[in-house]
Structure 1
Amino acid sequence: MTQLLPTRSSGWFWMACGAVAAAVPSIARSQEQASNLDAFVVSASRTPQDPRTVPSTVTSLSLDDLQASQVFSLSTALSEVPGVSVVNTGAVGGQSAVFIRGANSDQVLFVVDGIRMNTRSADYSNFLGGADLGGIDRIEVLQGPQGTLYGSSAMGGVILIDTAHGCGTPSGSLGTEAGSFGTYAGSASLEGGTKSLGYSVSASHLTTNNDRPFNRDNDWNWSTRIEDQVASGVLVGATYRGEYGQYQEPGSTLYPSQGLVMNRNDLFTTYAQVQPDSSFTSRVTAALHHTDYDYTASWGDSVLRNTRRILDWQNVWNASSKVELVAGANLEQSRFVAGGGVTDDHISSGYLSGTFKPVHDLSVIGGLRYDQFSSFGSATTGRFGAAYFIESTGTTIRSTYGTAFTAPGSDDRFGVPAWGQLPNPTIRPERSRGWDFGVEQSVLAGRVTLGATAFRTLYRDLFDWQTTDFVTYQGMTVNRSRASVRGLEFSADGRITSRLFARLAYTYLDSRDDTTGARLVRRPRQVADAELRGRITSAWQAGAGLHLVGDRTDLGGSLGGYATVRVFTSYDLGHGITASLRVENLLDRKYQEVIGYPALPFGAYGSVVWKF
Structure 2
Amino acid sequence: MIKKATLLTAFSVTAFSAWAQDTSPDTLVVTANRFQQPRSAVLAPVTIVTRQDIERWQSTSVNDVLRRLPGVDIAQSGGAGQNSSIFIRGTNSSHVLVLIDGVRLNLAGVSGSADLSQFPVSLVQRIEYIRGPRSAIYGSDAIGGVVNIITTRDNPGTELTAGWGSNSYQNYDISTQQQLGENTRATLIGDYEYTKGFDVVAKGGTGMQAQPDRDGFLSKTLYGALEHTFSDRWSGFVRGYGYDNRTDYDAYYSPGSPLIDTRKLYSQSWDAGLRFNGERIQSQLVSSYSHSKDYNYDPHYGRYDTSATLDEMKQYNVQWTNSVVVGHGNVGAGVDWQKQTTTPGTGYVPEGYDQRNTGVYLTGLQQLGDFTLEAAARSDDNSQFGRHGTWQTSAGWEFIEGYRFIASYGTSYKAPNLGQLYGYYGNPNLNPEKSKQWEGAFEGLTAGVSWRISGYRNDINDMIDYDDHLQKYYNEGKARIKGIEATANFDTGPLTHTVSYDYVDARNAIT
TM-score by length of 1: 0.72
2:121 is aligned to 133
Pairing 1:89–2:77 present = yes
1:592 is aligned to none
Cα distance in structure 1, aligned partners of 2:160 and 2:400: 43
Pairing 1:491–2:477 present = no
1:354 is aligned to 364
The count of aligned residue pairs is 468
Map 1:38-437 onto structure 2 (within 5 A).
Answer: 38-118=26-106, 121-123=109-111, 128-166=116-154, 170-193=156-179, 195-212=182-199, 213-251=213-251, 258-275=260-277, 277-297=278-298, 300-320=307-327, 322-339=328-345, 340-359=350-369, 362-389=371-398, 392=401, 394-415=402-423, 421-437=424-440
Q: Is this contact kept in 2: 1:406–1:429, CA < 8 A?
A: yes
Cα distance in structure 1, aligned partners of 2:451 and 2:403: 10
Residue 108 of structure 1: CA displacement? 0.5
Cα distance in structure 1, aligned partners of 2:283 and 2:41: 24
Note closer, same or farther for the CA distance 1:332–1:65 as it changes in structure 2 (3 Å cut). closer
1:457 is aligned to 458
Cα distance in structure 1, aligned partners of 2:80 and 2:244: 14
Map 1:547-562 onto structure 2 (within 5 A).
Answer: none
Residue 63 of structure 1: CA displacement? 2.8
Q: Percent identity?
A: 22
Cα distance in structure 2, aligned partners of 1:90 and 1:402: 36
Q: Deviations over 1:299-356 (max 9, x none)?
A: 8111111111111111111133x24111111111111224252111111110111112
- Determine helix, strand or coil for the equivalent of 2:55: helix
Residue 505 of structure 1: CA displacement? 1.8
Pairing 1:501–2:496 present = yes
Residue 93 of structure 1: CA displacement? 0.6
Structure 2 gap segments, 5+ residues each: 1-14, 200-212
Cα distance in structure 2, aligned partners of 1:381 and 1:437: 20
Q: Is this contact kept in 1: 2:110–2:419, CA < 8 A?
A: no
Q: Which amino acid aligns with 1:490?
A: A
Cα distance in structure 2, aligned partners of 1:390 and 1:138: 32
Q: Is this contact kept in 1: 2:29–2:37, CA < 8 A?
A: yes
Cα distance in structure 1, aligned partners of 2:264 and 2:239: 24
Q: Which amino acid aligns with 2:335?
A: A
Cα distance in structure 1, aligned partners of 2:96 and 2:294: 20
Q: Which amino acid aligns with 2:455?
A: A
Residue 201 of structure 1: CA displacement? 2.6
Note closer, same or farther for the CA distance 1:384–1:118 as it changes in structure 2 (3 Å cut). farther
Cα distance in structure 2, aligned partners of 1:493 and 1:222: 36
Residue 126 of structure 1: CA displacement? 7.7
Residue 53 of structure 1: CA displacement? 2.3
Q: Is this contact kept in 2: 1:404–1:432, CA < 8 A?
A: yes
Note closer, same or farther for the CA distance 1:389–1:126 as it changes in structure 2 (3 Å cut). closer
2:9 is aligned to none
Q: Which amino acid aligns with 2:343?
A: V
Q: Which amino acid aligns with 1:101?
A: R
Q: Is this contact kept in 2: 1:88–1:96, CA < 8 A?
A: yes
Q: Deviations over 1:562-593 (max 9, x none)?
A: xxxxxxxxxxxxxxxxxxxxxxxxxxxxxxxx
Q: Is this contact kept in 2: 1:119–1:153, CA < 8 A?
A: no
Q: Deviations over 1:109-167 (max 9, x none)?
A: 11111212257533587851133432333201111111011111111110011112336
Q: Is this contact kept in 1: 2:173–2:190, CA < 8 A?
A: yes
Q: Which amino acid aligns with 1:110?
A: V
Cα distance in structure 2, aligned partners of 1:332 and 1:63: 30
1:584 is aligned to none
Residue 69 of structure 1: CA displacement? 2.3
Residue 3 of structure 1: CA displacement? 7.1
- Determine helix, strand or coil for the equivalent of 2:483: strand
Residue 86 of structure 1: CA displacement? 1.1
Residue 368 of structure 1: CA displacement? 0.9
- Determine helix, strand or coil for the equivalent of 1:134: helix
Note closer, same or farther for the CA distance 1:477–1:487 as it changes in structure 2 (3 Å cut). same
1:564 is aligned to none
RMSD between superposed Cα atoms in Å: 2.5
- Determine helix, strand or coil for the equivalent of 1:341: coil
Cα distance in structure 1, aligned partners of 2:222 and 2:404: 39
Residue 390 of structure 1: CA displacement? 6.1
Cα distance in structure 2, aligned partners of 1:56 and 1:378: 26
Cα distance in structure 2, aligned partners of 1:291 and 1:224: 18
- Determine helix, strand or coil for the equivalent of 1:68: helix
Residue 442 of structure 1: CA displacement? 2.1
Q: Which amino acid aligns with 1:72?
A: T
Residue 220 of structure 1: CA displacement? 2.4
- Determine helix, strand or coil for the equivalent of 2:197: coil
Note closer, same or farther for the CA distance 1:507–1:165 as it changes in structure 2 (3 Å cut). same
Cα distance in structure 1, aligned partners of 2:115 and 2:266: 8
Residue 430 of structure 1: CA displacement? 0.9
Note closer, same or farther for the CA distance 1:273–1:123 as it changes in structure 2 (3 Å cut). farther
Residue 369 of structure 1: CA displacement? 0.4
Question: Which region of structure 1 is more displaced relative to structure 2, 49-58 or 189-198?
Answer: 189-198
- Determine helix, strand or coil for the equivalent of 1:222: strand
Determine which structure has greater relative contact order: mean sequence separation of CA pairs < 8 Å that are 6+ residues apart, divided by chain length.
Answer: 2
1:593 is aligned to none
Cα distance in structure 2, aligned partners of 1:494 and 1:62: 17
Q: Which amino acid aligns with 2:315?
A: R
Cα distance in structure 2, aligned partners of 1:468 and 1:264: 38
Q: Is this contact kept in 1: 2:161–2:172, CA < 8 A?
A: yes
Cα distance in structure 1, aligned partners of 2:353 and 2:391: 30
Q: Deviations over 1:521-569 (max 9, x none)?
A: xxxxxxxxxxxxxxxxxxxxxxxxxxxxxxxxxxxxxxxxxxxxxxxxx
Cα distance in structure 2, aligned partners of 1:356 and 1:171: 40
Give every structure 1 segment of 4 or more consecutive aligned residues whose post-TM-superposition deviation is greater than 4 Å: 1-7, 123-127
2:210 is aligned to none
Q: Is this contact kept in 1: 2:95–2:113, CA < 8 A?
A: no
Cα distance in structure 2, aligned partners of 1:197 and 1:478: 53
Map 1:566-585 onto structure 2 (within 5 A).
Answer: none
Q: Which amino acid aligns with 1:381?
A: T
Q: Which amino acid aligns with 2:405?
A: I
Q: Which amino acid aligns with 1:411?
A: G
